[in-house]
Structure 1
Amino acid sequence: MTTGDGERSPAWAEAAGGLAHRVLGPVAEAVRFVPLEEAGRGRAERRGYEYEAGRGALTIAATDGVSASVALHHYLRERCGLSVGWDTLLPLRPGSLPDAPPSRGSARVREGYYLNFCTFSYTMPYWDWPDWEREIDWMALHGITMPLAVTGHEAALRTAYSRLGLEDKAIREFLGGPGYLPFQFMGCLDGFAGPLPSSWINAHADLGKRILDRERALGMAPVLPAFTGHVPQEVAAGAGRAGHRDWQGFGTWVLDPSDPLYERIGAEIARAQIELFGTDHRYAADPFIEMIPVEADPAFPGRVAAATLDGLRAADPDAVWVMQAWPFSYQGEFWTEERVTAFLGAIPDDRMLVADLWAEHDPQWTRFDGFSGKPWLWCALLNFGGRTDPVADLRAVPPAVDAALAAPNPPTGLGLSMEATRNNPVFFELVADQLWNRVPDVEAWLDAFVVQRYGEGGWTAGLQAAWRGLLDTVYDARGLRIFPEQFNGVITAPPSYEWITVRPDLNGLERLRADTARALWYRPDALAAAWERLIGVAERHRDLLDGPLGHDLTEVGIAYMARVADRLHLDTVEHAVRSGGASAPRADRFLRVFGDLDRMLACRDEYTFRHWEAKALSWASGPAEREVLLDNARRVITAWGPAASPLLDDYAGRHWAGLVGGYYRDRWRLWAEGLDRAVAAPGPEHEARLREALVERAELFLRDGPAPSPDDLGGLAAESRRLFTAYAGGGGSPFARPS
């Protein structure tokens, strides 16, 4: 090993040592961290590590704290057969540290990017320090060097707008509810589901500082939010020129980039943020995101770009703008090559970093020739809103990454840009692995993933077989567009009679059949076989259920039962059409799925709505805060916006206990009660009545929350076996016979 000066301890060693103790327990005392200096390889350009273990001690030499953490994780995986995932029980407490010959690793790219503005609303709005400490450890172990960090940004906005003369009450009303702050920061909405409690702002400013201190101590360079042109209406009214725009029914005001106030406010916000949180000179701003610019002139986006950067540089001369390429994908018809070129051309190459947000499915780097020479990040998104059932095209990921890295203008980093975490861990682990290692064989990688995820034992062969089954079913979504508007199962979808009221003929029914078939691109019996293997291991090794196996067993149960619900819904509709009514027995069987699935979900805390709601309420310091927090936690997962607006209804729908067996089942019961009438006398009035009833149901949920879970639950293995027997085994499968 080539290390630095003798016993000199690097600045990041204390933070890395703390991480090691949290991961390993007391045995971490035998882990030593030293600096790594390598001739011919600049530390700023290439991250690397070396490790060696002998006589019960492990020495890790690294260029930085993140590389040291990656080295620790690679040692655990390669020598101990153990990995650290989101749901791994920690500390691992290995009995000793096995010997290992000198091993070394080099990062394939300079940066590992992490998170999405939406993640801070769909996963972590109510996290406290223990949640964040665990997450930062995960980030370091997986090579994340550049995390998005928006916790506490509301404090910077309050400071900046106070200096501009706004009263505190007006600022908090502009900021809106705590569960929606990331959308406020992106400029999508303001003043919704609030006002923001003062206690929240103060507490989250402290939490944000603590998060940033730890990330920086490990050698990360966090990305902070920046001004997007979005201002309070009072400011817009006094500006020389401002535009009004709409996002999903929410109206906001934006300054014209030619107005001097644009640069002034941008600089004021950046200064306030630097005072509160410091800076690593990287700032995330998306002035358009999912909104067409207020002027059609192709040169207008370039003027916005210049004004945005000018504001940042007035506060921080070394500022680099990190921008998501999502608008170019989401509104591709508007973002022509001319407009994108004008926009990117307004920023010097060394002042912008572009995140190609959905590169695993809709890469923009190929469309815009590597973003005209700008440094960029290849990112994997996959999850929109917090989807809870497993789905991905695993085999397509390594070739996509390899192709990007072989391009004339390759990415400077790889990123995980999911809208919510804690789902599909195999997909995100696969992407993160490629920060440091090429993956030429997904099957071989998956076998190793299984061993490391659960630890090696008598269960290994059974679990590897189960995961091969998953790789050939839910994780073989080749070429599919995994997007909420096109990939919803019926459980979390708003009930509708549209197929018969809009198209009262067989074409409507054919479309419904096509939608159902599109979500089942694999043989359901193959998924059932994988599910049964997981259940068998859980029954024989119940001690594994508290860790990753419990999460995975729940996910696979959701995957199978979601398709069962789709099939029984179609069965109910087809029977109603054939018979002209009398759908009740079929509808009852369809509705039974919701209660049965809910029981299984209730066995795992993170799959319960009560867990989400309790985390939100942990921040309430009084009745007013409690009311706002309850509303936000319930609303964003269901109605999202006003209950009467269908625009984002169920966008963040989750397969969670309390929702599946309560909220969603109640809505489908309303649908079932009117189905025969809608079939017998098709007309738009049925859809209108159903929509009215659904709005009332949403308002009831927002007021009262979910019903309590059953008190006669078995364990997760028992409830999973019960579900399997009822719907996949013993002739219970709805896929085994025609409807």
Structure 2
Amino acid sequence: MMTCTVLRCCGVIFLTHLFFSRTVAKEFPTLDHIRTKVDDGTQQRTVEDMIFRTVGDRFSDFSVTVDSSFMPSGKEAFQLDTVDGKIVVRGTTGVAAAHGFNHYLKYYARCQVSWTVQQVDLPGVLPPVSPAVTIVTSNRYRYYQNVCTVSYSFVWWDWPRWERHLDWMALSGINLPLAFNGQEAIWQRVYLSLGFTQKDWDEHFSGPAFLAWARMGNIRGWGGPLPPSWHQTQLALQHRILARMRNFGMIPVLPGFAGHVPAAITSLYPKAAVSRLQWGRFKDPYCCTYLLDPQDPLFSHIGGMFISEMIKEFNGTNHIYNADTFNEMRPKSSDPSYLTKSGAAVFAGMLAGDPQAIWLMQGWLFVSDRDFWQPAQTKALLQSVPQGKMVVLDLFGEVEPVYNTTDSFYGQPFIWCMLHNFGGNLGMYGTVHTVNQGSFLARKYLGSTMVGTGLTPEGIDQNYVMYELMNEVAWMPQPVQIMDNWAADYAWSRYGVKNANASLGWQILLRSVYDCEKGFKDHCDSVVVKRPQLHKTQRSWYKPEDVFSAWDHFVSASNDLGLVDSFRYDLVDITRQALQEWAYMNYQDLMETYNTGDLNKFRDAAGVFQQTLTDMDRILATHQNFLLGRWIEDAKSLATNDQERSLYEFNARNQVTLWGPNGEIVDYANKQWSGLVADYYSERWALMIKTLTTALMEGKKFNHTAFQQDVFQQVEKPFTLANKTYPYYPTGDTLQIAKELHQRYRRRTW
């Protein structure tokens, strides 16, 4: 006979019991050694410390136990109960216990802890849990991070910022995070011992804001060189990050050797077999990185040296390593035998340093270049490693899953992921339906080798609602049944009180802007943040009126919720989104008046358009999460001298604008931040309007090529080289400005 508890929340009926329902997914004993190696007592104390950091003196209202043996099935689980007035949290791991605590916060105490804004106003008397609740996850791993996240979001973080984020990771139930900090210091030791010089090294790795792509061999040297203080700081930070991850019961994923080497290898080792890889529009000296041939004996030697040195430095390993050799770069040959040898070489390098190594690979290459990665090529790479010795991230699973076109990655275990974000863009976007359903469909797929779920955004601090949903789905036995109910619960926990307008606002958003059926890679395609051009269309999967309607509800809720920081963040965000929609309407008017040749009407339309950008900057300035000044000042704070400060500021400015010396990926990492809107996006549009005005007055056609050169020389490049100081703290009243803008703009749409 089976005992169970029925728990109703967030539109789902959780059927929880001690023997969780069997799934069709295959088990992989080869992964059994990929686990936490920290005892239950250490994990328990780590969770207790996290709870104290989260709720302060109310910590005494909770009791935590980590007991790895309390689930006979061996699956991860947590249990909530009330005993003698205390909320008792029990977990099979520290992560499970932390997630159980978070479940209580959200669905009993009505609190929410998110990336950078939180609401933890606990009620005076904590609501009891009765009867006891046990929730089990079928997902062995809950992965987190894209290899790009470390550059788009984490690059300037110090330990206090990391500590808070690690708490969030544990609360979110994440147990398989990427841990990439400090690796350049290890690589430096390896390459110097192989005879490379400091100059060779400086020319190889890029500056801090571009390290992710230097690590993957996409670029070399851009934004560098890295100063010695960077290595020291990041190495010390990595020690603390790894210790905390492990003490929570997480399984850190360390970097491995993918085959990319400094250019000096051709002179230092003239017999080494190398090829060159091209990425995007970068040119020498920043492009065409060098890749060791898989059969060259140096390959496994360098790979083994790096893994061994890293294990020594960080006091052990959890045996799982990430390496991506062909990320957005075509191999020199499509011959399956070459691809098999390439994969085998990467894995051999890992084994040379750790005989128990498991290779974790991002599956993005199979999405970004489907023409090359046909079945024969894909199978050759995936089967270059013994089955169960590679874990593949189905990186863009919510939009373009690969498992269902590759027979479940040809037998290799995979993790179904929600990528969601590119470049850290801030526009509202989501695929709520596929996020809700996708991982369950992947698990039911015939012959499924799915072993978990994951979050793989390129950048964070945006669209919080999608990540809350995905983290909950990872622990659910079935999809959310009534999304409107989940949205209402989300609003209640995010703001701490029930509010009809807030609930309605979120329900509208989840039915529209957050329900993009097919998904867009370039979903933040606003005219605000893209280099100005004529006749630009703005792809949209929702009706702008839905955004305006949700805006109405948020403004109406502001009288009751205005003191809640998470609400003020959301009010800024929805106002920003509404002004983005209005800017596109203004843009269409601007283009229409230009095409008709009416100079006076064009000038009027231009004034309205530019005022919209000014108003966007005003509302963004009222919340700390939308400030350019934070990004730049955080970068400068890591410097130890003026030269480093200048380098770091340049890195910070270039990444979010030109992304390269000549705008190779211009606007890819665009951010609607106060300061950036006023001094970069608005200035580009001012030049565009001036150019169009001159064309109308002189009866000439607009020269797009000439304008691109002008805007690069007059606005974009000077901005990346400037050193203007921007506010670190918000200015202006969010509620007052949001209401003012709503009254002014909304009446034009009714």
TM-score by length of structure 1 reads 0.91
Q: Residue 551 of structure 2: which of 522, 531, 542 is its match? A: 531
Secondary structure of the residue aligned to 1:412 is strand
Give 1:565's aligned residue: 583
Give 2:532's aligned residue: 495
Secondary structure of the residue aligned to 1:188 is coil
Query: Using the alignment, how far apart are the partners of 1:228 and 1:181 within structure 2?
Result: 15
Q: Which runs of 5+ in 1 are unaligned?
A: 498-508
1:74-132 per-position Cα deviation (integer Å, ceiling 9, x unaligned): 12223212232223447645534332232111012101000011111111100111111
Give 2:496's aligned residue: 455
Q: Establish whether residue 541 from structure 1 lines up as the match of residue 561 from structure 2.
A: yes
Map 1:12-31; keep pairs closer than 5 Å. 12-31=43-62
Give 2:94's aligned residue: 65
1:463-513 per-position Cα deviation (integer Å, ceiling 9, x unaligned): 10111121233112222x3212x651111101124xxxxxxxxxxx5xx4x
Give 1:657's aligned residue: 674
Map 1:487-636; keep pairs closer than 5 Å. 487-497=524-534, 509=535, 512=536, 515-516=537-538, 518-519=539-540, 521-544=541-564, 547-579=565-597, 581-582=599-600, 583-636=602-655
Q: Establish whether residue 702 from structure 1 lines up as the match of residue 713 from structure 2.
A: no
Q: What letter matches 2:355 in structure 1?
A: P
Query: Using the alignment, how far apart are the partners of 1:361 and 1:541 within structure 2?
Result: 35
User: Contact 2:40 / 2:68 at 8 angstroms: preserved in 1?
Assistant: no
Q: How much has 1:334 moved relative to structure 2?
A: 0.6
Q: Establish whether residue 675 from structure 1 lines up as the match of residue 658 from structure 2.
A: no
User: Contact 1:22 / 1:90 at 8 angstroms: preserved in 2?
Assistant: no
Q: What letter matches 2:228 in structure 1?
A: S
Q: Residue 243 of structure 1: which of 244, 260, 275 is its match? A: 275
Q: Residue 146 of structure 1: which of 165, 173, 176 is its match? A: 176
Give 2:483's aligned residue: 442
Map 1:451-490; keep pairs closer than 5 Å. 451-457=492-498, 460-479=499-518, 481-484=519-522, 487-490=524-527
Query: Using the alignment, how far apart are the partners of 2:724 and 2:340 within structure 1?
Result: 48
Map 1:292-441; keep pairs closer than 5 Å. 292-407=330-445, 408-437=447-476, 438=478, 439-441=480-482
User: Contact 1:597 / 1:723 at 8 angstroms: preserved in 2?
Assistant: no
Q: How much has 1:299 moved relative to structure 2?
A: 2.2
Query: Using the alignment, how far apart are the partners of 1:97 and 1:548 within structure 2?
Result: 22
Q: How much has 1:255 moved relative to structure 2?
A: 0.8
Query: Using the alignment, how far apart are the partners of 2:70 and 2:159 within structure 1?
Result: 39
Map 1:245-324; keep pairs closer than 5 Å. 245-248=277-280, 249=282, 250-277=287-314, 278-324=316-362
Q: How much has 1:687 moved relative to structure 2?
A: 2.6
User: Contact 2:118 / 2:494 at 8 angstroms: preserved in 1?
Assistant: no
Q: How much has 1:693 moved relative to structure 2?
A: 3.0
Q: How much has 1:418 moved relative to structure 2?
A: 0.3
Secondary structure of the residue aligned to 1:493 is coil
Give 1:505's aligned residue: none
Higher-RCO chain (CA-CA 8 Å, sequence separation at least 6):
2
User: Contact 2:359 / 2:390 at 8 angstroms: preserved in 1?
Assistant: yes
Q: Residue 105 of structure 2: which of 67, 70, 76 is its match? A: 76
Q: What letter matches 1:692 in structure 2?
A: D
Q: How much has 1:41 moved relative to structure 2?
A: 3.0
Give 2:143's aligned residue: 113
Q: What letter matches 1:492 in structure 2?
A: V
Query: Using the alignment, how far apart are the partners of 1:310 and 1:112 within structure 2?
Result: 26
- Bigger mean CA offset, 87-96 vs 695-704: 87-96
User: Contact 1:393 / 1:476 at 8 angstroms: preserved in 2?
Assistant: yes
Query: Using the alignment, how far apart are the partners of 2:729 and 2:209 within structure 1?
Result: 30
Secondary structure of the residue aligned to 2:288 is strand
- Bigger mean CA offset, 118-127 vs 688-697: 688-697
TM-score by length of structure 2 reads 0.90
Q: What letter matches 2:354 in structure 1?
A: D
Map 1:149-164; keep pairs closer than 5 Å. 149-164=179-194
Query: Using the alignment, how far apart are the partners of 2:157 and 2:715 within structure 1?
Result: 29
Q: Establish whether residue 54 from structure 1 lines up as the match of residue 80 from structure 2.
A: no
User: Contact 1:106 / 1:436 at 8 angstroms: preserved in 2?
Assistant: yes
Secondary structure of the residue aligned to 1:382 is coil
Q: How much has 1:302 moved relative to structure 2?
A: 1.2
User: Contact 2:626 / 2:674 at 8 angstroms: preserved in 1?
Assistant: yes
User: Contact 1:227 / 1:266 at 8 angstroms: preserved in 2?
Assistant: yes
Give 1:503's aligned residue: none
Query: Using the alignment, how far apart are the partners of 1:298 and 1:696 within structure 2?
Result: 49
Give 1:86's aligned residue: 115
User: Contact 1:9 / 1:33 at 8 angstroms: preserved in 2?
Assistant: no
Query: Using the alignment, how far apart are the partners of 1:712 and 1:198 within structure 2?
Result: 34
Label 1:710 to 1:316 Cα distance change in 2 as closer, same or farther (>3 A). Answer: closer
Secondary structure of the residue aligned to 1:415 is strand
Aligned length: 701
Q: Residue 200 of structure 1: which of 190, 207, 230 is its match? A: 230
Q: What letter matches 1:368 in structure 2?
A: T
User: Contact 1:528 / 1:560 at 8 angstroms: preserved in 2?
Assistant: yes
Q: How much has 1:22 moved relative to structure 2?
A: 1.1
The root-mean-square deviation of aligned C-alpha atoms, in Å, is 2.3
Label 1:96 to 1:200 Cα distance change in 2 as closer, same or farther (>3 A). Answer: farther
Give 1:500's aligned residue: none
Secondary structure of the residue aligned to 2:589 is helix
1:328-377 per-position Cα deviation (integer Å, ceiling 9, x unaligned): 00001110001001111111112100000000000011111110111100
User: Contact 1:357 / 1:417 at 8 angstroms: preserved in 2?
Assistant: yes
Query: Using the alignment, how far apart are the partners of 2:298 and 2:273 within structure 1?
Result: 10
1:285-338 per-position Cα deviation (integer Å, ceiling 9, x unaligned): 010010001223232221110000001001000100000110100001110001
Query: Using the alignment, how far apart are the partners of 1:226 and 1:681 within structure 2?
Result: 60
Q: What letter matches 2:46 in structure 1?
A: A
Label 1:322 to 1:711 Cα distance change in 2 as closer, same or farther (>3 A). Answer: closer
Label 1:252 to 1:463 Cα distance change in 2 as closer, same or farther (>3 A). Answer: same
Query: Using the alignment, how far apart are the partners of 1:435 and 1:225 within structure 2?
Result: 25
- Percent sequence identity is 30
Query: Using the alignment, how far apart are the partners of 2:505 and 2:265 within structure 1?
Result: 58
Query: Using the alignment, how far apart are the partners of 2:246 and 2:419 within structure 1?
Result: 25
Q: How much has 1:428 moved relative to structure 2?
A: 1.0
Q: What letter matches 2:84 in structure 1?
A: R
Q: How much has 1:156 moved relative to structure 2?
A: 1.3
Secondary structure of the residue aligned to 1:350 is coil
Q: What letter matches 2:491 in structure 1?
A: V
User: Contact 2:426 / 2:524 at 8 angstroms: preserved in 1?
Assistant: no
Secondary structure of the residue aligned to 2:235 is helix
Q: What letter matches 1:435 in structure 2?
A: A
Secondary structure of the residue aligned to 1:452 is helix
Q: How much has 1:694 moved relative to structure 2?
A: 2.6
Query: Using the alignment, how far apart are the partners of 1:47 and 1:464 within structure 2?
Result: 32
Q: How much has 1:690 moved relative to structure 2?
A: 3.7
Q: What letter matches 1:134 in structure 2?
A: R
Secondary structure of the residue aligned to 1:204 is helix
User: Contact 2:629 / 2:728 at 8 angstroms: preserved in 1?
Assistant: no
Label 1:361 to 1:348 Cα distance change in 2 as closer, same or farther (>3 A). Answer: same
Query: Using the alignment, how far apart are the partners of 2:195 and 2:120 within structure 1?
Result: 50
Secondary structure of the residue aligned to 2:439 is helix
Query: Using the alignment, how far apart are the partners of 1:94 and 1:214 within structure 2?
Result: 30
Secondary structure of the residue aligned to 1:10 is helix
Give 1:186's aligned residue: 216
